[in-house]
Amino acid sequence: MLMLGNLFIFMSFQMLIPTLPPYIKSLGASGLEIGLVTALFSIGAVLSRPFIGHMLEYKARKPLVLIGAIALLTVTIFYPISNIVLVFLMFRFVHGLAWGWSTTVNGTAAVDVIPNSRLGEGMGYFGLSVTLGMIIAPSLGIFLFQVTSFNNLIYISCILGVIAIVLLGAVRYFTPETVKNTKKEDLKFSYIGSLVEKSSWYPAFITMIATFGYGSVVTFIVIFGEERGIEQIFLFYLFNAVMASIFRPISGKWFDEKGPRGLIVVCTAITFIAMWILSFSHTNIGISIAGALFGIGFGSLLPTLQSWTLSKTPVHRRGVANGMYFSSIDLGIGLSGIIFGVLAQFMETGTLFQISSFFLIIPMVLTILEGRGRKVSKEQTVSSSY
């Protein structure tokens, strides 16, 4: 039920992602303002997460989950009146605040019901609701944007949001004993302390760099299709969804059996190749192949990074760690939107994808270095014991 509810949350939200940049462009927005559509949203999400991460250390899950879902629906309802660029950008910031709240709480509620020994597999399955929402919904959004009005797109998004609230209201949540036994008065709130979990900052940092590389695709995929004359751009998301669904359970079991490092290296390499194939695509076949590779690579990369982040975190701090993980995604995509939004004024979108692809090499290198660092540390420990 939690997976289904989260799926509809992501469906409701993600169907707007690829359609908002071309919509605000039709209002006369500049390249920078198009980038701000993603950036302001990401800033709002990052700002809200430390507060909800702190609350998750002492509050029950259900009320927090429902507040987040209702807030997302409320903001979405007001989009049709935002036909002025400045007003539109303001709504994106508020939407980001609500999104930061909802994703942090839902992810933590999922972690609470998964045994530690099957964390990778469990979060892999839960992550399917995230991935499928992120992949299927944009296809639906693009289709509706092309065949109907923007207002009708918003109304359908709201219907999905209502379904999500009903499903999430029916979930039987579990709150850890350490959280139940903690009172607000027992904790001292620190914004930085609730923004960053020291024990698991490294995989979160890797997440930010990886999503920075992917952010150009999120922001400009529809505009790319218009430049290349590719009418069926939704095929990119369709094949992405299919392959992510097939490989997600496999990658989750790989994580539980062998750990995250080899899996991350493989996933980033596949995603790097996918971005180059996408950049050279002029046909439906090209974007379909690129989408399939993205589903295998990036579709498995994000839940792997989330599971790695949570596996390094104490149980009572998982709310904070989840917030940090999702903030890393939003920061990466948001910064990508600003920087590549500026660059988009001077070059073709395919070239942007090629430039941004190299930021996927960095997570690969950092993961390899982290693995070698652990090996050296173990060898030093064994040597000192003699």
The Cα–Cα gap between 278 and 273 comes to: 9
Q: Tens digit of pLDDT for each residue in 297-312?
A: 998 898 889 888 888 8
Q: What is the pLDDT of residue 98?
A: 93
Report d(CA 15, CA 20) in Å as an integer. 9
Judging by beta carbons within 10 Å of its beta carbon (0-12, 13-18, 19+), is residue 292 exposed, middle or buried? buried
Asked if pLDDT for residue 382 goes beyond 50, the answer is: no
Read off the tokens for 73.
Answer: 């629906």
314, 199 contact by CB (below 8 A): yes
pLDDT at 374: 59
Burial (0-12, 13-18, 19+ Cβ within 10 Å), 19: buried
Q: What is the overall mean pLDDT for the chain?
A: 84
Cα(89)–Cα(217) distance, integer angstroms? 20
Neighbour-count burial for 26-65, b at 16+ CB within 10 Å, e otherwise: eeebeeebbbbbbbbbbbbbbbbbbbbbbbbbbbebbebb
**Strand locations in 208-301 (E):** none
- 196-216 pLDDT, tens digit each: 888 888 999 999 999 998 888
How many CA atoms, within 13 angstroms, populate the side-chain half-sphere of residue 90? Answer: 8
How does residue 380 score in pLDDT terms, banded at 50, 70 and 90?
A: very low
CATH numbers and ranges of domains, the chain: 2-173+193-378 (1.20.1250.20)
Give the mean model confidence (pLDDT) for residues 274-293: 93
Residue 286 φ/ψ, nearest 5 degrees: -60, -45
10-65 pLDDT tens trace: 888 888 877 877 777 777 777 777 777 777 887 888 888 888 888 888 888 899 99
Q: What is the dihedral of CA 184, 186, 188, 194, to 10 degrees?
A: -60
Q: What are the CA-CA distances from residue 36 to residues 19, 234, 249 (Å)?
A: 14, 23, 35
- What distance in Å separates the CA atoms of residue 74 and residue 263, rounded to the nearest whole number? 39
Task: Collect contacts of 117-120 with beta carbons under 8 A, ≥24 apart.
Answer: 117/256, 118/256, 119/255, 119/256, 119/307, 119/310, 119/311, 120/252, 120/253, 120/254, 120/255, 120/256, 120/260, 120/304, 120/307, 120/311
Q: Please identify which residue in the block is written with the tokens 């169907």.
A: 15
Dump pLDDT digits (tens) for 94-149.
999 998 899 889 988 888 888 877 877 787 788 778 777 776 787 788 788 878 88
pLDDT the model gives residue 375: 52
Buried b (16+ CB within 10 A) or exposed e, 185-216: eeeeeeeebbbbbeebebbbbbbbbbbbbbbb
Whole-number pLDDT of residue 160: 94
Identify the DSSP state of 280. Answer: T
- Give the burial class of 277: count Cβ atoms within 10 A of its Cβ; 0-12 exposed, 13-18 middle, 19 or more buried: middle
